[in-house]
Amino acid sequence: MTVENISVNKSFGGWHKQYSHHSKTLNCAMRFAIYLPPQASNGKKVPVLYWLSGLTCTDENFMQKAGAQRMAAELGIAIVAPDTSPRGDDVADDAGYDLGKGAGFYVNATQAPWNRHYRMYDYVVNELPELIESMFPVSDKRSIAGHSMGGHGALVIAMRNPEAYQSVSAFSPITNPVNCPWGKKAFTAYLGRDMTTWAEYDASLLMRQATEFVPALVDQGEADDFLIEQLKPEVLEAAANVSGYPLTLNMQEGFDHSYYFIASFIENHLRFHAEHLVK
């Protein structure tokens, strides 16, 4: 596999790097970013937190805006941030911001034309970790986190693969996509109109039925414009109460959907993951 280094920046004694590679899963070139803490330069394999971003984002939003590198360097955790969808001139797209490029929703599309490229679930669960663990001084201990659409992806991936992740966290996740406009639009396009196929990508439905648990932390701003119509954290909390899922849900007064919110609480999330990754 050809992997091209695009950029390198030193940060808090570690290194932020961007790479491009051809993804067999997605049938296109993909970009990802990785932050390697200073501990990774000393011959030590460090654990990895995978970060999934939200609608319209790329690998750059979290790395540039969240301010996570200082704490990742202190805790000795690598952070990997993939793009949010396939890219390229021959990749299917939509005029709306909430479907197509930048809006992969971390599902494996089954419907044309999306199924030719849009297999972000398999990419994040299988291909990307295999690449990261083969190229960099990291261990196979993983946790996963995300924001909005990426929070949806992180929760779903952790619950469907509890053996692979030590912990999961999310900011403002889309918790019940089968019952919100963003989810209905994306799932109809990517998965078809048979709603029974949607359930495997709905965090609230998965959490309600869960019998294996991954420790979960969710922060949600009370001033989020998308709170009522799109995000529905109360549905996730109700599901956790049914199954006894180890979910901590924090409703944060005055905070919105932006990276100002994420930057305010990212230290808490990294410390949460470190409790499970660095034992």
From 53, 85, 143, 148, the catalytic residue:
148
Give residue 107's identity as a one-letter amino acid code.
V
d(CA 143, CA 38): 19
pLDDT-derived band at 219 (thresholds 50, 70, 90) equals very high
Q: Does the annotation count 20 as an active-site position?
A: no
Q: Does the annotation count 257 as an active-site position?
A: yes
- Which ranges of the chain does DSSP label H, i.e. alpha helix? 60-65, 69-75, 120-122, 128-135, 149-160, 181-191, 203-209, 233-243, 259-277
pLDDT digits (tens, 9 = 90+) for 89-122: 999 999 999 999 999 999 999 999 999 999 999 9
How confident is the model over 202-207, as a mean pLDDT?
Answer: 98
Tokens of 45: 């394999």
Q: What is the pLDDT of residue 125?
A: 98
Q: Does the annotation count 148 as an active-site position?
A: yes
d(CA 203, CA 43): 37
From 53, 59, 224, 273, the catalytic residue:
224
Q: What is the pLDDT of residue 2?
A: 86
Q: In which region does residue 27 sit, left (phi positive, over 0), alpha (psi from -120 to 50) or beta (all else)?
A: left
pLDDT digits (tens, 9 = 90+) for 65-93: 999 999 999 999 999 999 999 999 999 99
From 16, 117, 257, 273, the catalytic residue:
257
Q: What is the pLDDT of residue 44?
A: 87
Dihedral of alpha carbons 183, 184, 187, 189, sign: negative
pTM, two decimals, is 0.97
pLDDT digits (tens, 9 = 90+) for 114-132: 999 999 999 999 999 999 9
Contact 221, 252 (CB under 8 A): yes
pLDDT at 279 over 90: no
pLDDT-derived band at 1 (thresholds 50, 70, 90) equals low
Match 């490029």 to its residue by tokens.
101
pLDDT digits (tens, 9 = 90+) for 22-48: 999 999 999 999 999 999 987 789 999
Q: What is the pLDDT of residue 260?
A: 98
Residues, the chain: 279
Contact 146, 152 (CB under 8 A): yes
